[in-house]
A and B are shown apart, each in its own frame.
Chain A
Amino acid sequence: MTILRLLWIYLRVGVMNELAYRVNFFVRLFQSLLELGTALAGLAVVFSYTDTLGGWRPDEILALLGVYFLVGGVISVVIQPSMEGFIESVREGTLDFTLTKPEDAQLLVSVQAVDLWGFIDVLLGSGVLVVALARLGERVGGLEAAMFGAMLTAGIGIVYAFWLILATCSFWFVRVENILVIFQSMYQAGRWPVSLYPGWLRYGLTFLVPVAFATTVPAEALTGRLNTETMLGALALAAALLLASRAFWRTGIRHYSGASA
């Protein structure tokens, strides 16, 4: 429960900070709507020439787009700003202050910054998802919904662990945010099912940069095309990566000697 309480506190601070710049809300809303509009128009163009794309029907791709915005929103609300803040604090030496606090340092570092307006993407993504679900109708039952929830959680867990592992590298290397920029740039590939991509790229988007687990796999669960192996694999990978990132974080912390003091 500590995690929720802390997240709540940081969220409140984030809200208070951001509410000082209210015009930002409209700017960000505009930008998110523009991105969504562009994505939908792109889908419209593609589906004016075909009925299915690699076996996916338009409504199913729409559901995937919803997941893409939803997960992208979660990343931009807390994962990305917190990890960037963490890398910055290692370089500046302000991580010292975090380490003196009486809570688990990994937890503090992971929720330390909240970008409030990222919720716009979460909401838009959920909206798209609801529309897609309504159009898919009864083909999505309770089982699919449960599997979707599990895969979404696993996907977000995998992305978080991935970012944490890369960010932890900043204990040894100075310029790691570059690798994180690569993730941001690769993430746009998740707007389409990874099964479309040729083998080498699909492999890269699955294991090198876990875009597939963040978007395609949850959408597969929702549209009833997820096989048991992938599901178990995603759960196992999420658990393994979360444990590994925790262990790696501890090693890093032991290595950290402070730069400010």
Chain B
Amino acid sequence: MSGLIDLYLQQFKTSLAAMLQYRAALVIWLIGQILEPLIYLVVWTVVSQTQGGSVGGFTTGEFAAYFIGLMLVNHLTYTWIMYEYEYRVRHGSLSFALLRPVHPIHSDIADNVSSKVVSLPGMFLAAVVLGLLFRPTFHFVPWAVAAAVPALVMAFLLRFFIEWCLALAAFWMTRVNAVNQTYFAAMLFLSGQVAPVALLPGWIQTTAAILPFRWMIAFPLELLLGRLTPIQTMEGFAIQGAWIGLGWISMRIVWRAGVRAYAAVGG
């Protein structure tokens, strides 16, 4: 166990150094991460104002809180592992990772966490500025905010496991862009990025409850905003847990099959 901790510490150090080398890339990535929720925030603010200050149970201020929160939750759970794997498999650099005595997922997790640490100040600054501009109404429910912390950690793990599985599609396909785009399109609606899930048509809400997307973003976010009842929260944790288990099992299966299929192009 202490070996693993050392490993993570070392990995944090190297990834931090690498991140700080590519500051421009980090800024560009941040702009994209801020712009998308900002666009939908503006659209729903306008809709809400046209409808006299509230739409589908959200007031203008609550929309602001929702989308600013969305920006933060999305940032905390985001991974870009599928792009990474496409590159690694195509260029054969995965071969080196496979030679190491530990599972490559550890360095991926450490990488992801350290990049978030580096960009978090920028993200918080953006949240504060948007908060001043759009005046969000935030209902502080202490137990819900406390519960949102484990929900966020679980959402991060869930998203990481699922996207890691998706990334491994690169073992069998050379062009995985279309797969990723389909995934992100589903995510856009089912995780509440276009609009809060409660505002979507009924059949999409049902789909969202079954699939993992909602539990990666919308659930911790709604919990944080105090929009969920204790029972809904318990249900949410149960579904998150189930999906994490499922994600972990399929990750192991796909990884084993994938490594066997890997032919090290280039290498």
Contacts and interface: CB of A to CB of B under 8 A. Distances in A.
A144 to B, nearest CB: 25
Interface stretch (B87-95, B188-196, B243-251): B188-196
A45 B46 contact: no
A98 B50 CA distance: 55
Contacts of B55: 49-50
Given A27-B175, A53-B50, A38 B185 contact: yes
A188 B200 CA distance: 22
Given A49-B55, A175-B24, A181-B28, A30 B43 contact: no
A71 to B, nearest CB: 17
Contacts of A182: 28, 31
A201 B189 CA distance: 25
Interface residues of A, number: 32
B25 A31 contact: no
A257 interface: no
Contacts of A186: 31, 35
Contact of A178 (B28, B38, B177, B189): B28
B84 interface: no
Contacts, number: 79
B56 interface: yes
Contacts of B195: 45-46
B29 to A, nearest CB: 9
19 contacts: A27-B177, A27-B178, A31-B181, A34-B182, A34-B185, A42-B188, A45-B189, A45-B194, A46-B44, A46-B195, A49-B55, A49-B199, A50-B51, A178-B24, A191-B39, A192-B39, A197-B42, A198-B42, A201-B42
A54 interface: yes
Given A41-B189, A53-B47, 13 more contacts: A24-B175, A27-B177, A30-B178, A37-B185, A42-B188, A45-B194, A45-B199, A49-B56, A53-B43, A186-B31, A196-B43, A198-B42, A201-B38
Contacts of A42: 188, 194
B108 to A, nearest CB: 23
Interface of A: 24, 27, 30-31, 34-35, 37-38, 41-42, 45-46, 48-50, 52-54, 175, 178, 181-182, 185-186, 188-189, 191-192, 196-198, 201
Interface string B178-212: 10011001001100001100011100000000000
B133 interface: yes
A196 B178 contact: no
A189 B39 contact: yes
Contacts of B182: 34
B36 interface: yes
A53 B194 contact: no
B32 interface: yes
| Most chain A beta carbons < 10 A, residue from B25, B42, B201 | B42
Interface in B118-133: 133
A182 B51 CA distance: 34
Nearest to A185: B32
Nearest to B200: A45
Q: Which 7 A-B pairs have the closest CB atoms?
A: A185-B32, A50-B47, A38-B185, A178-B24, A49-B55, A42-B194, A27-B178
A46 B47 contact: yes
B42 A185 contact: no
B35 A188 contact: yes
